[in-house]
Chains A and B, each alone.
Chain A
Amino acid sequence: MTALLQVEGLGKRFGGFVALDSVDLDVQRGERLGLIGPNGSGKSTLVNCICGTLRNESGRVRFGEAVLDGLSAHQRTRLGLARSFQLPRPFGSLSLIENIRVPILYAVNARAGGGLTGAALATRCRELLGQVGLAGKADLRPRDLTQIEMRKLELARAMATEPQLLIADEAMAGLSHTEVDEIIALLIRLNEQGVTVIMIEHIMRAVMAFSQRLAVLVAGRKIADGPPQEVVRNPDVVKAYLGE
């Protein structure tokens, strides 16, 4: 079985700094992958290259049948690749329900056979807000939300594109213990509905609870990839986090 996402030899430089050095990564359909690494190890750069926000200089990204290189970010979203941003980036002048409406109009309705309009569209928006527990705040603006609500909105907006693969980029940074549990439960529920999920996270408790497989990036290279319990005992990984 071919993987849903295949990253081969991906390289990205910023001037003289090598952010990603020939990274390979396969993600199987339906998998829950955790991606960890110290600050500045290239996790977000990898996400940005996969999603088309940045252009990789070398290597290839395949998604299902499609080769993504050269496609713009919105085309990748329409193919079924969604992401949430590390710092929530809501559409500030739109209400919550309108925030959800944008990806449905532009990602879901742009696909062949799609086309939610009128009441069905509004119902779907409320349903998505309901899934993240924001149904009661549908008509508020993002600025009226708390941090965790903002992150839930970010996830709901990514979910609204009806992705095959969702990349959650540090969706839990700065959240409390129970809030982290809420987000993990949300992502697992999503995975059970058939969405492949890559979680990028610093909170090890969350990563270990969530991931079926763990990949580790250090200084732009992937140094480990395998079952979570083995990876965290890997001497190279321990060295990268704790030093010699």
Chain B
Amino acid sequence: MASLADKTSLDGALPGLRGLPFVLLLIAVAAAIFAAGRWFGSSYAFFVGYVVLQYIVLGSAWNILGGYTGYVNFGVTAFFAIGAYSTVVLNKLMPALPLPVMILVGGVMAGLVGLGTGYLTLRLRGVFFSIATLALAVVVQTLITNWDFVGGARGAYVMRPKVAPLIGGEYVQYLFLIMLGLVVVVLATARAIERSALGYGFAAIRDDEAAAEASGVPTLRLKLIATGLSGGFMGMAGAPLPFYVTYLDPASGFSLNYAVNAIAMPLIGGTSSWLGPVIGAVLVGGLQEYLRVTISSAVNVLVAGVLMVAFVILAPQGIVGLFQRKKR
């Protein structure tokens, strides 16, 4: 029986050859963006670009659980901050560790917390699951605030190296490049899921869990895959944060902005496709930055909130949904 259960069509989840051209295309686009950035040579552009890329990763990660599987996670900041704080810890213990390794560790930590959360809350559905994730964010924030090693409530300073390794130039360019790499990984994963047996299993769970079970879908296992992947990517999005902000305290690491944006961006862009979170992040992230410069830095959350409400009422399928409807 175990062999039967173990043969969950995960093999179908791997991108395979059909996904290869897509990955190459993603890499080409990413390389072009980075080359354009280098040519433009503005560190402000890199700082803004990093934030947008970070939200693409965060929004796509949220969408794997929230959009594909239908479990709305309000505890984004828990996973994001676990990634960020694991970098703070690693940087104190082993400052020489390269950033990609720290990101991997942060991702694994957050992924494990995701798995644990999934296992503990798997009987909860709908709004009850969401409340549990909200509670998780509060619990993790309380733990970090009382953990002196990472600075507790005072926060922690992280020295950003002056020069970027490997590529030269300012360090923020390196951060930007790393985040660009993460975007490629997360988008390739999201698209591979959509087109695989895993994607159909997630959709079946989202639509009707009992019917999914009756169709042979191992709902528990798939939900754990979704919570683990989603949490892991959120942690990876958060891991470079300490080097970006250079000073991290619980109030900023667990900021409501991250949670609101990570949910709003996929909803605005469209939750049915990998493209949705990208469109949402570029649109909302770009608009927020524009308003921050022209009006005020406090208008950020308002923008995401108002747009989210507008889209939920007027275009529940998001921007991608609007285009799909036209196409039909």
- Digit string of B194-229 for contact with A (CB within 8 Å is 1, else 0)? 000100110110111011111111111000000000
User: Which of B2-10, B22-30, B143-151 forms part of the interface with chain A?
Assistant: B2-10
Q: C-beta contact mask, A164-175 vs B, less than 8 Å → 1, else 0?
A: 000000000000
The reply to whether the CB of B95 lies closer than 8 angstroms to some CB of chain A is no
Asked whether, in the complex, the Cβ of A102 is within 8 Å of the Cβ of B212, the reply is yes
Q: 1/0 per residue A97-114: CB within 8 Å of B? A: 010011101111111100
Chain A residue with the shortest CB-CB distance to B217: A106
> Does A75 have its Cβ within 8 Å of any Cβ on chain B?
yes
Q: Judge if A51 is at the interface, Cβ distance under 8 Å.
A: yes
Contact A93 B206 (CB under 8 A): yes
Q: Which residue of B lies closest to A94 (CB)?
A: B203
B126 at the A interface (CB under 8 A) = no
B12 within 8 A of partner (CB): yes
Contact of A90 with B by CB under 8 A: yes
User: DSSP class of B's interface residues: helix, strand, loop or mixed?
Assistant: helix
Interface 1/0 per residue, A148-188 and B, CB below 8 Å: 00000000011011000000000000000000000000000
Contacts of B3 in A (CB 8 A): 112
Residue of B nearest to A70 (CB): B1
A115-144 near B? 1/0 per residue, CB < 8 Å: 001000000000000000000000000000
Answer whether A102 and B213 are a contact pair too, CB < 8 Å, given A92-B207, A94-B207.
no
Interface centre among A51, A93, A108, A158 (most CB of B within 10 A): A93
* Nearest opposing residue in chain B for A71, CB measure: B1
| Residue of A with least CB distance to B2 | A75
Q: Does A189 make an interface contact (CB < 8 A)?
A: no
Greatest chain A CB density within 10 A among B12, B200, B219 is at: B200
A91 and B217 form a contact (CB under 8 A): no
Contact B211 A161 (CB under 8 A): no
Could you tell me if A75 and B1 are in contact, using CB atoms closer than 8 angstroms? yes
Chain B residues with Cβ under 8 A from A103's Cβ?
Answer: 215-216
Contact in complex: B210, A109 (CB < 8 Å): no
Known A75-B5, A98-B200; judge A105-B12 contact (CB<8 A): yes
Among residues of A, the one whose C-beta sits closest to the C-beta of B218 is A74
Q: Closest CB of chain A to B287's CB: distance in Å?
A: 29
CB <8 Å contact, A106 and B215: yes
Contact with B along A204-239 (1 / 0, CB 8 A): 000000000000000000000000000000000000
Determine whether the beta carbon of B216 is less than 8 Å from that of A93: no
Asked whether A161 lies within 8 Å of B4 as measured between CB atoms, the reply is no
Give the complex CA separation of A221 and B211 in angstroms.
Answer: 27
Partner of A106, one of B1, B208, B218, B220: B218
Contact A102 B5 (CB under 8 A): no
| Residues of B close to A72: CB separation below 8 A | 213, 218, 220
Of A75, A77, A85, A106, most buried by chain B (CB within 10 Å of CB) is A106
Say how far B39's CB is from chain A's closest CB, in angstroms.
43
Count of A residues near B, CB < 8 Å? 38
Q: How large is the interface on B (under 10, 10 to 19, 20 to 34, 35 or more residues)?
A: 20 to 34
Asked if A105 and B214 make an inter-chain contact with CB atoms under 8 angstroms apart, the answer reads no
Candidates A90, A112, A161; contact of B216 at CB < 8 Å: A161
Measured in the bound complex, the distance between the Cα atoms of B222 and A74 in whole Å is: 12
Given contacts A77-B213, A102-B215, contact A93 B207 (CB under 8 A): yes
**B-facing mask of A65-76, CB < 8 A → 1, else 0?**
010000111110
With known contacts A53-B213, A74-B218, A110–B203 Cβ distance under 8 A: no
Whether the Cβ atoms of A106 and B207 lie closer than 8 Å is no
Give, as a whole number of angstroms, the nearest-CB distance from B318 to chain A: 14
Would you call B197 and A106 a contact (CB within 8 A)? yes
Question: Given the complex, which residues of A lie within 8 Å of B272, measured CB to CB?
Answer: 93
- Asked whether B197 lies within 8 Å of A105 as measured between CB atoms, the reply is yes
The answer for the CA separation of A90 and B206 in the assembled complex, in Å, is 11
Contacting pair B213 A105 (CB below 8 A): no
A89 at the interface (CB under 8 A from B): yes
Contact between chains at B211 and A90 (CB < 8 Å): yes
In angstroms, how far is the closest chain A Cβ from the Cβ of B221? 9
B208 to chain A, nearest CB (A): 5
| CB-defined contacts of B211 to chain A, threshold 8 Å | 85, 89-91, 157
Q: Which residues of A contact B197 (CB under 8 A)?
A: 105-106, 109
Q: Is the CB of B203 within 8 A of A93?
A: yes
A interface, CB within 8 angstroms of B:
51-53, 66, 71-75, 77-79, 82-83, 85, 89-94, 98, 101-103, 105-112, 117, 157-158, 160-161
The 3 closest A-B pairs by CB, nearest first: A107-B216, A73-B213, A106-B216
12 A-B residue pairs with CB within 8 Å: A52-B213, A53-B214, A71-B1, A73-B214, A74-B213, A75-B1, A85-B211, A91-B207, A98-B203, A101-B200, A108-B216, A157-B215
Apart from the given pairs A74-B213, A101-B200, 18 other A-B contacts in the complex at a CB distance below 8 Å = A51-B214, A74-B216, A74-B219, A75-B1, A78-B4, A82-B214, A83-B214, A89-B208, A90-B207, A91-B204, A91-B211, A93-B206, A98-B200, A102-B201, A106-B9, A110-B8, A110-B9, A158-B214
